[in-house]
């Protein structure tokens, strides 16, 4: 997707800073930029780029632990599990680096997915919501299609069940626009990427309404690409 590692990381950092809410969330969002690159690179069999991205994310997270780990400010000040969660993120990065060193990039990608869940849980416990949470919600619903879609097509009432799930996916796609910060809604690039995500859902719905199994299968296969492009830059 990108021709170099440095360029997207710089651009991602700039996009992430605009979404800051407080000192801790701000720091978390900054480290989320190289983390997203690491997810993308491990998913594309780029061993050295993956290693660099994880190291950058790990270094950023180490600074968070050093600065806030023992005494985080509001809204995380009253969270008794903050230090435990912070340590868990570092463990994930350490494990992922070991897997990348052994060129186990599929396994490293799965390991890195844990960071997204840990950070989302930290924010949820402390009533913090960022745009990444809406991206994560869409991703979770999309994964149902990617993992189970083909099996469901052939199952009794499978097409009907997929049609119902497409409604949830459409709703979450709508949230990507309604919950986007004003700064993103002014970005032509963001709006173009969002339009591509919305089109992938519209195409899926059209295929499902037509009850055309081959079209549905093709539409499911085209969900991930637009989302991935949006995630790597704005997720």
Which tens digit of pLDDT belongs to each residue from 176-189?
Answer: 999 999 999 999 99
Per the structure block, which two tokens stand in for 15?
A: 């996009």
d(CA 171, CA 58): 34
The answer to whether the predicted template modeling score (pTM) of the entire model surpasses 0.85 is: no
Reply yes or no on whether the pLDDT at 17 is more than 60.
no
Closest residue by Cα to residue 126 from 167, 172, 76, 168: 76
Pair 97, 51: CB distance under 8 Å? yes
Question: 138-141: long-range contacts at Cβ-Cβ below 8 A with a sequence spacing of 24 or more?
Answer: 138/169, 138/172, 138/173, 138/175, 138/176, 138/197, 138/227, 139/227, 139/231, 141/165, 141/168, 141/169, 141/172
pLDDT of residue 5: 32
Burial of 232 (0-12, 13-18, 19+ CB in 10 A): buried
Condensed to tens digits (0 to 9), the pLDDT of residues 36-86 reads: 999 999 988 899 999 999 999 999 999 999 999 888 999 999 899 999 999
Condensed to tens digits (0 to 9), the pLDDT of residues 135-158 reads: 999 999 999 999 999 999 989 999
Reply yes or no on whether the pLDDT at 8 is more than 70.
no
Closest residue by Cα to residue 13 from 233, 229, 192, 186: 233
Closest residue by Cα to residue 57 from 5, 122, 133: 5
């Amino acid at each position: 997707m990108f021709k170099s590692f440095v360029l997207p990381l710089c651009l991602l950092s700039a996009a992430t800073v605009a979404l800051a809410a407080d000192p801790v969330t701000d720091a978390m969002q900054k480290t989320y930029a190289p983390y997203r690159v690491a997810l993308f690179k491990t998913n594309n069999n780029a061993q050295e780029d993956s290693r660099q991205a994880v190291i950058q994310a790990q270094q950023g997270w180490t600074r968070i632990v050093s600065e806030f780990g023992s005494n985080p400010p509001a809204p995380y000040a009253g969270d008794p599990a903050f230090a435990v969660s912070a340590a868990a993120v570092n463990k994930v990065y350490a494990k992922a680096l070991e897997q990348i060193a052994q060129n186990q990039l599929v396994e490293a990608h799965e390991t890195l997915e844990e960071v997204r869940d840990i950070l989302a849980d930290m924010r949820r416990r402390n009533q913090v919501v960022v745009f990444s949470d809406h991206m994560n919600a869409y991703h979770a619903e999309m994964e149902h299609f990617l993992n189970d879609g083909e099996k469901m097509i052939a199952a009794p009432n499978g097409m009907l069940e997929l049609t119902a799930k497409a409604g949830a996916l459409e709703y979450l796609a709508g949230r990507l626009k309604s919950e986007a910060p004003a700064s993103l809604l002014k970005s032509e690039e963001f709006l173009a990427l969002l339009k591509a995500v919305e089109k992938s859902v519209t195409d899926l719905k059209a295929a499902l309404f037509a009850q055309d199994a081959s079209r549905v299968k093709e539409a499911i296969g085209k969900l991930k690409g637009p989302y991935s492009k949006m995630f790597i830059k704005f997720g």
